[in-house]
Amino acid sequence: MDEELVVSVLQMSASRTKAEALEKLKKLVSEARGDIIVMPEYAMVDPTDLDPETLYKTSETLDGSWVNTLRNVAREKGSCVIGTLFEKSPEPPRVYNTAVLIDPNGDVISVYRKTHLFDILGYRESEKILAGEELFEPVELCGARVGLAICFEIRYPELFRLQAEKGVDVFFIPSAWYTGHLKEETYRVLAQARAHENVSYVIGAILYGERFTGRSLVVDPYGVVVAEAGIGEKVLEAVLDGRVLMEARSKLPLLELRRRDLYGLVEKR
């Protein structure tokens, strides 16, 4: 990673329509100064009360107006953009829960479709969302080796470890974390664990609203929260330091000390 990388987290509030979401996006983008700009999961629309057919009508393809808007943002700001959308799938009325990574030229360099769906605590994301079938492959983005997961997937350490072994400097986690008893503390603990065990930065971009916690955060490679947005709609900005990353990995060579001779990842059966 470059010596310093500025990240802008757009803590958007949940929207009822795409038009409303675009207005919020434009406002927050105008305040962002980051080399990388990241938005939350469910940024296009809050799907909670939408039936699958309505959500499918709201969704778009990757060459639709929503992604084109994100591509224009990248060009105009000269920044990389990590955006989210509901993407039309080949199995309507379910849609993909998708993240796109865009470079400063406005080119989409990677697409990830959420693979682990939130079917717990009384909610069934799988009724509206079709799971992706491929894990995210880390990419170079604005001077950093980037890994990615979406919201609920923060609970699966193997997703992060597989990416970490490919040299990830910073993990971005677009999220729409539902409120509940101490739920924000759950997210914080998981983000700190994913950062510390992989000796990498972790950025949680979390939707805010009546149903969602907000409290986007930045965790350093030691597992320490170094920036937090609290509640409300705002831009959280933080400087990621490549020297801190290298220092942490020198002091904590956790990946190198793994006893691979004693264990391995479970094979597909």
pLDDT tens sequence across 52-74: 999 999 999 999 999 999 999 99
Residue 70 is predicted with a pLDDT of 98
pLDDT digits (tens, 9 = 90+) for 6-55: 999 999 999 999 999 999 999 999 999 999 999 999 999 999 999 999 99
pLDDT digits (tens, 9 = 90+) for 80-132: 999 999 999 999 999 999 999 999 999 999 999 999 999 998 899 999 999 99
Instruction: Please check whether residue 76 lies inside any domain of the structure.
Output: yes
Residue 189 is predicted with a pLDDT of 98
Q: Which residues form the domain of 31?
A: 4-251
* DSSP output for 104-127: TTS-EEEEEE--S----TT--GGG
Instruction: Please check whether residue 261 lies inside any domain of the structure.
Output: no
Is the Cβ–Cβ distance between 127 and 119 less than 8 Å? no
Residue 3 is predicted with a pLDDT of 87
Cα(197)–Cα(138) distance, integer angstroms? 17
Alpha carbon 63 to chain centroid distance? Answer: 21
Q: Which two tokens stand for residue 34?
A: 């980051």
Instruction: Please check whether residue 262 lies inside any domain of the structure.
Output: no
Closest CA to 15 of 42, 40, 50: 42
Orientation of helix 18-31 relative to helix 65-77, angle to 10°: 10
Residue 268 is predicted with a pLDDT of 43
Handedness of CA 132, 136, 139, 143 (dihedral sign): positive
- 225 φ, ψ (degrees, to nearest 5): -75, 115
Instruction: Please check whether residue 268 lies inside any domain of the structure.
Output: no
Instruction: Please check whether residue 165 lies inside any domain of the structure.
Output: yes
Instruction: Please check whether residue 269 lies inside any domain of the structure.
Output: no
Instruction: Please check whether residue 9 lies inside any domain of the structure.
Output: yes
Is the link from the previous residue into 253 a cis peptide, with omega within 30 of 0? no
Residue 260 is predicted with a pLDDT of 84
- Supply the DSSP symbol for 130: P
Residue 103 is predicted with a pLDDT of 98
The pTM of this model reads 0.96
- Number of structural domains (the chain) is 1
Minimum mean pLDDT among 38-52, 108-122, 206-220, 249-263: which range?
249-263
pLDDT digits (tens, 9 = 90+) for 127-167: 999 999 999 999 999 999 999 999 999 999 999 999 999 99
Q: Is 103 helix (H, G, I), strand (E, B) or coil?
A: coil
- Burial label, 174 (beta-carbon count in 10 A; 0-12, 13-18, 19+): buried
Instruction: Please check whether residue 264 lies inside any domain of the structure.
Output: no
> Is the pLDDT confidence value at 266 over 70?
no
Is the Cβ–Cβ distance between 44 and 23 less than 8 Å? no
CATH code of the domain containing 10: 3.60.110.10
Residue 262 is predicted with a pLDDT of 87
Going by pLDDT thresholds of 50, 70 and 90, the confidence category of residue 267 is: very low
